């Protein structure tokens, strides 16, 4: 059951971040201020789903690790502080800043500078979370093959 919770919450978190990132890119490509405003305003509300999913994935992952810190588990654990710090100190503040600027219709240099930073940081988190998912799937596949 804990394994299912870990996989599900991790997948939800990864999908949410991909959704935030992809919708941002698509809204910017559209060059429509109303679309950008809608996307930037909606993203902070998505934190209501994202944050619990990340917490559940992290907590269940630590429980599943059972104190082990080597191999793929160790690698996954080493990535987590970077993912968390990036989210807490770059992505979340950027999302609130961009939502505020977009609602005010203030698409100035600061907006686009922070937008670029957010896209780069988001791509980084997507990459790190994807690597963690890949490693988790490999560990699960290895355990299954040992049982067979």
Domains, the chain, ranges and CATH? Answer: 2-147 (1.20.120)
In 10 A of CB 120, how many CB atoms? Answer: 11
pLDDT per residue rounded down to tens, the chain (148 residues): 899 999 999 999 999 999 999 999 999 999 899 999 999 999 999 999 999 999 999 999 999 988 888 888 999 999 999 999 999 999 999 999 999 999 999 999 999 999 999 999 999 999 999 999 999 999 887 766 766 6
Compute the distance between CA of residue 103 and CA of residue 48 in angstroms, rounded to an integer: 20
Q: What is the pTM of this model?
A: 0.91
CA distances to 38, 102, 103 from 111, rounded to whole Å, are 15, 8, 12
């Amino acid at each position: 059951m804990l394994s299912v919770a870990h996989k599900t919450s991790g997948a939800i978190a990864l999908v949410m971040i991909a959704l935030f990132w992809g919708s941002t890119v698509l809204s910017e490509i559209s060059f429509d201020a109303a679309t950008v405003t809608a996307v930037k305003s909606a993203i902070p509300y998505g934190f209501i789903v994202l944050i619990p999913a990340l917490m559940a994935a992290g907590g269940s992952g630590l429980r599943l690790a059972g104190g082990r810190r080597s191999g793929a588990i160790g690698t996954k654990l080493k990535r987590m502080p970077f993912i968390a710090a990036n989210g807490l100190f770059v992505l979340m503040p950027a999302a609130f800043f961009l939502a505020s600027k977009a609602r005010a219709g203030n698409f100035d240099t600061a907006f686009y500078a922070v937008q670029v930073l957010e896209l780069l940081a988001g791509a980084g988190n997507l990459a790190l979370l994807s690597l963690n998912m890949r490693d988790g799937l490999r560990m699960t596949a290895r355990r299954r093959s040992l049982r067979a």
